[in-house]
Amino acid sequence: MIIRNANATFNRFDGSGPRQVTTDVDVGMPLSSAAAILTGFNVSFSPNDGDHHLGNLDVRLDAVVVGNLVRVTSTFGLRDWSGSWDDRYEGQIFFAVVGE
């Protein structure tokens, strides 16, 4: 079993969501299977964008083995109760890749 820690950063953004970031984690050897496990996250509405109440938080991970790499797609979205993605938000998702 191989375990590697990694993260995905989502810079300040508004206007749509959820967004995706792909991170390639090199495990140094071919794997037959792998999974990405959420270990934590730090998300927020961007500073100076007013007071917001949490309406929807979307944090997901998907992992695919590509040779010696595990390609992890992180999905992140944050919005208030307005029903639209009109507020600036940002965050970071932390995960571990486990494979064999």
In this prediction the pTM is: 0.90
- Confidence (pLDDT) at 84: 85
pLDDT surpasses 70 at 50: no
Average pLDDT over residues 56-85: 93
Please report, for residues 31, 66, 79, 81, 93, the alpha-carbon distance to residue 55 in angstroms, rounded to integers and kept in the order given. 39, 36, 6, 4, 19
Question: pLDDT digit string (tens) for 11-43?
Answer: 998 888 899 999 999 998 889 999 999 999 999
Say if residues 9 and 92 touch (Cβ distance below 8 Å): yes
pLDDT in tens, 80-92: 888 888 889 999 9
